[in-house]
Every structure is written in structure tokens, then in C-alpha cells.
Structure 1
């Protein structure tokens, strides 16, 4: 059974996203997109460190050599949390000024995958999904999204999940870890505001896909064949992304946001924090970016 969620970092960030478990350091890294910050969170001691940036910090992943790969509003960088050193990895993002990078993760191919989104209120399907390698080469893997989101891979690396938060739906692809190729796109599950518009995602070791239902205050656990296995409620109404973490990846951390009205904030004052629970299943292993 899923254990009860407790707030381990009452940060009250504007929009916390992209939790990544670093098993070497025994810590979570999280970003606050509009807060322009990268944060380090301990599972027992909460906020440890925070680093400000000059622009939106949208997603991150781990590197083989200990650095982090971080997507900012319009570029991807490599960041060393021990020294603070940073270097540009990919600066070729050339979409309209009304778009920015959004959700991203390191895939089983050792590349950093990151999507884009339309920031205009009437979201148009102009977003793309990019694959960025350690030499700074970026290719477009798919396009036509309003808000590219929800990247996650099965434990064996053969399936990639991806969502459009304004679709709102979850798709699955066959994934070739040797080449980074995707194929066989298939609609896995349709969602809505009531069931939980899909935000960030994660996979467990048994093949299920966990989607943060940001509009419904739940995690939706979806089977590989497109059935809703379970819905897990959160203590706040705005979960943004789950992340398996801790010893054996048997815990699950969830980031949240606090862009809700005053009445909702009074009812859920810890919105914008990081929450942790014991998971009913272990998570898929975290992958690191090659050459970083």
C-alpha cells in the first residue's frame, strides 16, 4: 500500500518541478521554474542548498561524472553543484520568444531529452521534443505539442512515455536505447481536469507509468496497456512530478506548486513543497548522461 505523504521541505516555491534522485549523494535535486532556482533536498533534513539562476530553471538530470545537466528557459547547460561552475551545452534553441523549454530527463540512451511549450494563454501545438547529446548536438524527435511534459522510461529502457499537458493525454513509444530512436507512437490514456491533467511522470520497476494529475491533486498510476490501476491523493491539490527515491527506490517524492487562489492556499498552506511517501513498488533506476 502507498504510505501517507508528509511534507519534507516546506519551501512554498512558486512551481517546483523535475525532482531527480542522486543515489551517490543521497539527495534530491529539484527546480523552481519561475523562482529561477535549483534546490537540493534531503529526505530527512529538508532543504540543504539552493542556487539562483538568471532565468527559468525548467528541468534537470544527472551526469556520469557528477555534474547536473540543466535546462534553462532557452538553453541547456552543465552545472557542477560542488563548485558552482557551469558551461553551455546546447544554445541552439530557436523557437519563438513566446515558447520555452519545459520538462526534461536523461534517457536510457544517455542523452538529455527536453521538450518545449507555448507560454501564451491559448496554448498552440508548436512545442517540440529534443534529444541533446553530450557533444551539444540536438535533434528534434517529435513535435506538435502545446506543453511537452511527462517524460519517463520503462525500467528495461524499451518504452518511452510522453504527455501533452494540454492534450491532455499520455502517449507511449518504442524506444531504442542504442540509437535513441523512437517509433510506434500510441495513445495510452486520455485525461482531463477532473481526472488529473498530466504533468510530470515516472515509471516503476513493474512497468507502470505514474502521472502527476496537477489539476486533481492525485497521482494516476497507469498500466503499460493503458488501464488506470490506481489514483493516489496528495495532501495538496497541485502535484507536478513524482520521483522514486531512497534506499531501493522504495519511496516516492512529489513536487508541487502554489499557483492557486487564496482560499485553496489557506486550505493547503504547504503547496509549493516537496512531499514523500513509502511506495507500494520500487521505481525504475535513474539513468545518467554519458560524458557529463
Structure 2
């Protein structure tokens, strides 16, 4: 009996270990390296005194936009070519206050509080997911404004106009040019939300100028065409009125030639000479 129990236990132990080994083999990581790629450090935050949270290209420029979540500042940087290249760093928006805060207005005096992510539209406006303030802020040439959230200091999931909207403590944003909208990945609420942007924010500056010129040229062409049509339409009436206003022409009957080719006055003088 003991021998049978020992045999059964040994068999069960062997099967269990084989199953575990098979599972381990199946769960092993599989890594395939594709050759031809190299990783190079081009920005050293320790030397520049910044902590990169996110980085994006600046539309219409070779510069970069960098979000420092620790300092709550958005920077512009010249595009580096190597770690040794000199990088020009400029503060785009946000006050130098590591404690963070909430203040719209001028670029230099605006304050954020641990922004999570940011996005850039085609016009170059920057949208910041201001995490701790539960708001989405817009950075433009005129300053910083809030476009959604911010009124409620507590997290939430309310939709609606800017002052009624609320977000969780963990959300990120991205720009979708095809929809002219911001998509919000609201992790804390397990939601994907959308903010429709203004039409002019989804057109590049050069395209907007070209469109304005095209509209001006089209308007000028239509005006000329309309003037030509009106001119052709009123031309007969103008000519008729001109003919009516012309003064009658009176001719001297005595000066008219007779059938022989002489004028009446010449004939009269000739008769008077004969009488004399």
C-alpha cells in the first residue's frame, strides 16, 4: 500500500514539474533585434536644468517643444544634432515655481501644476493637460487661457462647456488634425473624451494666408465680371438716350448746290451782274 502511494505521489510530482517546465518554455520572452538603428542622447537635462516629460516638434519650425512636469514649464529648444551640440533653450510659458499653481494670462506669469502631457495644433497653439489643476490650458501668442475644466478643484468626469467640465487626476491629451479636435485619454475615469477646436486652429499659417489671397482674387474677378455684364446690359439704353439728346442740325439751304453744281448764292450774283 505504501509502495503504491509512493509511486502515485512520484508520478503526480513528475507530471506537475513537466507542466510547469512546459509553461515556462511557452512564456519565455522572444526578442528579435532589427539591425540598422542607433540610440543617441542629444539632450542632457542635467546640464540644461530641465526634466523632460514630453517633447514634440514645433509646427512650421525646426525647433522643439518640451514639457517639464517637475518645474511646470513649457520650453522651446533648438533641434540638437548630437549630445555635444549647443542647445538653445527658451521658456515659452510658465513661471519658475516648482510648487506649481494656477494662473492664466501673460506667458511669463502663467502658472501650471504638474502638467501631464501636451499637444500642438497646426497653427502652433500648445494645449497642456494640467494634471493637478484638472484643466486643459491653451498657450497662444497672446497668452495662456483655460479651455476646459479648472473651475472644480476636485477630480470628476463631467462633460459640457469649459466651466462645467472636469477630469480625473490622471489624463493625457493628443491632437487629431483630421478631426480638428483634442482627444483626452482620461485614465482615472477609464474614458476617452473629445474637445472640438476652432477651425482656424486647424489650418497652417501659410495655408490660411493663401486662402485669404485666393478669396480676395476671386472676389475681384467676380466684381469685374459683374461690371462687364451690367455694362453690356445697359449699353443699348445709353446709346438711345444719347441719340435723343443730340441737337438738330440746320443746314443753309442757300449754300446747298443746285443740279448744275452751283450754290444758290452764286446763281443770284450772276443774275445781278447781267441786270447791270
TM-score range, shorter chain: 0.3 to 0.5
Q: TM-score scaled to structure 2, two decimals?
A: 0.43
Normalising by structure 1, what TM-score? 0.41
Q: Specify which structure has the bigger relative contact order, considering alpha-carbon pairs within 8 angstroms and separated by 6 or more residues.
A: 1
Q: Which has the larger radius of gyration?
A: 2
Q: Which has the higher strand share?
A: 1
